[in-house]
Amino acid sequence: MFEGVYVAVVTPFAKSGEVDVDSLRAHVDWLIREGVHGLVPAGTCGEYASLSDGERAAVVEAVLAEAKGRVPVVVGVAATTTAQVVRWAEHARDHGAQAVMALPPIQYRPTWAEVVAHYRAIDAVGLPIVIYNNPFDTSTDVTAERVRELEGVARIAAVKEFSGDVRRVTELIQTCRASVLAGADDLVLESMFAGAVGWIAGMANIVPAASVALYEAARTRDYERAWALYRRMLPLLRYDTTPRLVQAIKYGLAAVGRPVGDTRPPRLPLEEADRRRIDAVLADLASLAPTA
């Protein structure tokens, strides 16, 4: 299920500041028509932490309704307590999601026993779990050995690996049953050549067709084409591993004629230098042949 490009979907906001469900559905439809393989709503790119419970539910339901089974939907369920995470996992299950993506506990530095109990509680919902290993935004680093331990207590289907250490891909493949997914856009090619089967991508919101082309070149081991395209995309992909990733995505979407509104504070708009850099990459990628 996890092979391909899974887009971490942004949440559009209207000028009034409210969630723009119509724009969200249009964005989802466009991503699918551009060839992406799956969708991940209510994650960091979706600004989940800035949404009310009602808004978050509406976002997840809109993405699932628009996907209409055309591609799998893996719902982000991060929240400040295990009980809240479980409720979001139940909501995802009840509305037809294929899996959930879950960070370790995010509110404080947990013990490992608490991390295990957290994932065991999510497992009781009954959906496959994608572990999101992001030791930068959480205080927990879910190493390969720890993933193997979690596989003993929960249906861990995949790991979104975002540690920044591409050696982790090999360690996970050698140690665990779970599929390994590239989690950092600016390490996707290295991760795939190391054995990752999929990519949970942020900047694919802006350039889905080019992202799919990059994935396919890597999957088929067309090294020359993959590296050439990757190098052209890298100045954009590097924003995925910065605190400005959501602003970069929303600016980029406006630049390609698909505006989805601004980010919610405390996120502020990009500075001029960042906007110029993104404009240059998008102009270069626009010169690619349609099949690229």
Catalytic residue at 68? Answer: no
Tokens of 290: 């349609």
| CB 52, CB 41: distance < 8 Å | no
* Separation between Cα atoms, residue 254 and residue 23, nearest integer Å: 12
C-alpha count within 13 angstroms, C-beta hemisphere, residue 131: 35
Rounded CA Rg of the chain: 18
Q: Out of 6, 48, 119, 132, pick the active-site residue.
A: 132
| CB 218, CB 189: distance < 8 Å | yes
Tokens of 220: 């088929």
Q: Out of 160, 215, 239, 251, pick the active-site residue.
A: 160
* Separation between Cα atoms, residue 129 and residue 152, nearest integer Å: 13
Sign of CA dihedral 95, 73, 1, 165: negative
Provide the residue type at 264 as one letter.
R
Reduce the DSSP state of residue 140 to 3 states and report it.
coil
Catalytic residue at 132? Answer: yes
Q: Which residues are catalytic?
A: 132, 160
